[in-house]
Amino acid sequence: MKFEIKNSSGEKLDCAYEAGNPEKHKSEFLVVMGHGVTANKDRPILTETAKAINIAGFDTLRFSFAGNGESEGDFRDATISKEVADLGAVLDTASKGKKIIYVGHSMGGAVGVLRTAMDSRIVGLISLAGMVNTKKFAETEFGEETPDEGFMWEDEDCPLSSAYMKDLCETIVTVAPMAETISVPWLLVHGTADDVVQPEDSEEIKSLRGDDVELVKIEGGDHMMNEPEHLSQTTAAVADWITRNF
């Protein structure tokens, strides 16, 4: 199945659809997957997690936010607020009456919280190293850079824009208040050695929501789950949770 998805600015969003195992197929669901800042739909943490979800019987749709990967658009405009709208455009095109489970990694996790709080099409939420305190993240990671002059992590392909910093530090600050309004099943997965998005972000959500959310800690896991054992633990946790809840 192929989708042509454009956001409200007319920018085409690159995406990849994979069908679930026909022997276990859950045709009423579609799992939509979004990446983190400076990333794209083809990072292993998304591709490998998608494979596990497919094996469990669920269709997946990975996509790159505008300005990232092979999607159209300017990276400098890729704020969380714009990506929330991008996700809405994906659902407008791809949902077609399907129940949506959203998987977001890192900043894509913050996007998922904000979209889920306003969009009843999303019936399940999975946050992989999900960002909560956006202002703290921006100031910690990029506070020494000059917006519109510097770069994210010294990568010249990823210019740091004032629009990005303003969105994270002034418009959003934290997604915790919106997290309190979410009532759908929610899985949090976070590596204990993550030094990009601190594990405390997921722990904050757990403390706010208690038994309403499930938190899986991957001992020694970094932000991208780069070690094969950590990645396999992550994908197994996601496949197990999604099978139990849907």
Flag whether 47 is in a domain: yes
- pTM, whole model, 2 decimals? 0.97
pLDDT class for 2, splitting at 50, 70, 90? confident
Flag whether 156 is in a domain: no
User: Which residues neighbour 245 within 8 Å (Cβ) at sequence distance 6 or greater?
Assistant: 124, 185
Residue 39 region by backbone torsions, left for phi larger than 0, else alpha for psi between -120 and 50, else beta: beta
pLDDT tens-digit series, residues 145-188: 999 999 999 999 999 999 999 999 999 999 999 999 999 999 99
The C-alpha atoms of residue 23 and residue 163 are separated, in whole angstroms, by 47
Flag whether 166 is in a domain: no
- The whole-chain average pLDDT of the chain stands at 97
Check residue 44 and give its pLDDT.
98
Flag whether 140 is in a domain: no
Residue numbers of the domain that contains 104: 5-132+176-245
Check residue 3 and give its pLDDT.
87
Flag whether 127 is in a domain: yes
For the chain, counts of helices (H) and of strands (E):
8, 11
Flag whether 123 is in a domain: yes
Flag whether 76 is in a domain: yes
Check residue 1 and give its pLDDT.
82
Check residue 14 and give its pLDDT.
98
| CA nearest neighbour of 49 among 205, 220, 216 | 216
The C-alpha atoms of residue 240 and residue 1 are separated, in whole angstroms, by 26
The C-alpha atoms of residue 71 and residue 63 are separated, in whole angstroms, by 8
Q: Dihedral of CA 217/177/35/3: which sign?
A: positive
Check residue 164 and give its pLDDT.
98
Q: Mapping DSSP to helix (H, G, I), strand (E, B) and coil, where does residue 241 land?
A: helix
Flag whether 59 is in a domain: yes
pLDDT tens-digit series, residues 87-121: 999 999 999 999 999 999 999 999 999 999 999 99
CATH number of the CATH domain containing 222: 3.40.50.1820
How many domains would you assign to the chain?
A: 1
pLDDT tens-digit series, residues 179-237: 999 999 999 999 999 999 999 999 999 999 999 999 999 999 999 999 999 999 999 99
